[in-house]
Amino acid sequence: MVLKKNTIEQIFKLLDQSIQNPKSELVYTNHFQLLISVILSAQTTDVAVNKATKSLFKKISTPESLLKLGEEKLKSKIKSIGLYNNKAKNIIKCCTRLIEKFNSTVPANRKDLESLPGVGSKTAGVVLNIAFNKVTIPVDTHVFRISNRIGLAKTKTPEQTEAALLKIVPDWVKIRAHHLLILH
């Protein structure tokens, strides 16, 4: 049974009061670095991503600079992160597509973002929310579990959970609901 509207409102009021200035813990300086960080964050922690990208982002701030680094050097920079071989391959392909199709600019819509290698629904949602201030509620494992555990949703997939949350989360908190649920 999904919770009543006033209970949902109360949950988000309490989360909003207890978690001051909810935001991503990823460290980046531009939309491209954010995209790369979010791709790297799949199945690992933001802390681990930040450790791996600290030296990488001193040299890399554009798709061109990352391509110039090359796949093997990228792998050596991110080898502390799980699935680094696949992530490096996808990031190189992503950079190529950003250059060829999007003039080296991170797209500001879900369809174009999801056309990039290594970018799925969650990654696109996080980038849209953080970089472009769009109302999305990206659902990773944590948001999926907590939403179902406390009764915000009763769903079987992250996509179903996102759709359910977008319907029930109060408008005043939607832009930061993802962060509130993760940080909770």
For the annotated catalytic residues, the residue numbers are: 122, 140
Alpha helices in 19-157 (DSSP H): 31-40, 46-59, 63-69, 71-78, 84-102, 110-114, 121-132, 141-149
CB 73 within 8 A of CB 53: no
Tell me the C-alpha distance between 101 and 110, whole Å: 15
CA distances from 137 to 72, 149, 157, 159, 181 (A): 34, 17, 14, 10, 10
CB 65 within 8 A of CB 47: no
How crowded is residue 14: how many other Cβ atoms within 10 Å of its Cβ?
A: 12
Tell me the C-alpha distance between 89 and 84, whole Å: 9
